[in-house]
Amino acid sequence: MSGTGMQSSGNTGVGSYALYSLTSGYNNVAFGQNSLVNTTSGNNNAAFGNGALSSNLSGYNNTAFGNQALQSNTASQNSAFGTQSLYANIDGTYNSAFGLSSLMANTSGAANSSFGSQALRNNTTGGSNCSFGENSLYTNIIGIGNSAFGLQALYLNTGSGNSAFGQQALNGTTTGENNTAIGTQAGTIISIGSNNSAIGYSAQVPDGAASNQVRIGNTAITYAGVQVAWTITSDRKLKSNILTSNLGLDFISKLRPVSYFRKNDESQKVEYGFIAQEVEEALKDNAVTNNGMISKDVEGTYSLRYNDFIAPMVKAIQELKEENEKFKKEKDQQITKLENENSKLAEENLRLQKDISVIGASITEQVQKEVRAMLLKVADAGD
């Protein structure tokens, strides 16, 4: 049964009550019981399935394929493919739903795209979300600007600005925002943390409740490389409470450099470095506890930020340089003192030599006088 108003044209209704209330709408197509049943003045709508677009009044450019698809819709520019897809949509616009119950609960959210059974199922007012995969963004209600690609990606999400690529990627994220995960099960521990990035299969940041963390690769990775050296920001304007490092030679001298095999490295290549727990003890000995050199994840696994060793090493070199300069200064002073003493001894030696020469000359003269006197006596005695 259908109703065709005097001003309507280009409409096709097939099924019980299809296009029943139409008065002035045009270019509408309805196939199925109660499809577009309440539409009066809507245009360019297509409904295929029992109850599809059944609540639509004046909405236009809507497309519904599937039982009860877009059933509650009164808005425009929506596309629903699958049973109960966009079922509850009322005034949301520019939504696209493909799959059983995808965007089922959406009421006023706009510009959402869902592909997969129950994708974005519970979204109500959230907008500009993209969901590809069964149960992806399943729990999202008001989150905005999320992208989920893969089975159960961003499954528990209610936050905004998250991007998940891979099966179950970011599936544990709840209120966290602006997180990025690429890879199957990447970032699954991220819950309320924001601005985190996890790249690679099962890559996990140290703390799912913390923010501003990046992790590349999982614990099985044995090699990571880049073409050029890493460049790390170090601008003064990015730092506060700048102090000269209190870690130097004393700290460095307490470290134990070690060689080891990484347990998951099948090649068993020798690696060199430190044991994080030993470094922690050395830091404690220097009254340093709150630092970024050592981190520990939720499972208690330690990590070291080797870049942080540069400053203490430079400080140690500077301290050694100061000690060397002090030693050199003391040595130079000793040498100068010895040279001065030697110079004085040389002067004294010259003076003594002169005195000896004078004394020798005087003795020689005296001897000569005495010899001459003796010779004269001898001569006189001979006469």
How many beta carbons lie within 10 A of that of residue 366, not counting itself?
A: 10
Query: pLDDT-derived band of residue 201, with 50, 70 and 90 as boundaries?
Result: very high
Angle (nearest 5°) at CA 250 between 244 and 252: 90
**For 106-151, how does the pLDDT look when each residue is reduced to its tens digit (9 = 90+)?**
999 999 999 999 999 999 999 999 999 999 999 999 999 999 999 9
Q: What residue segments make up the domains of the chain, in order of their start? A: 241-307
76: confidence class by pLDDT, cuts 50, 70, 90: very high
Measured between alpha carbons, how far is 166 from 172 in angstroms, rounded to an integer? 13
- Give 315 or 368, the one with higher predicted confidence: 315
pTM over 0.95: no
Query: What would the pLDDT profile of 309-356 be if each residue is shown by its tens digit?
Result: 999 999 999 999 999 999 999 999 999 999 999 999 998 999 988 888
pLDDT band at 190 (very low <50, low <70, confident <90, very high): very high
Segment 241-284, tens digit of pLDDT: 999 999 999 999 999 999 999 998 888 899 999 999 999 999 99
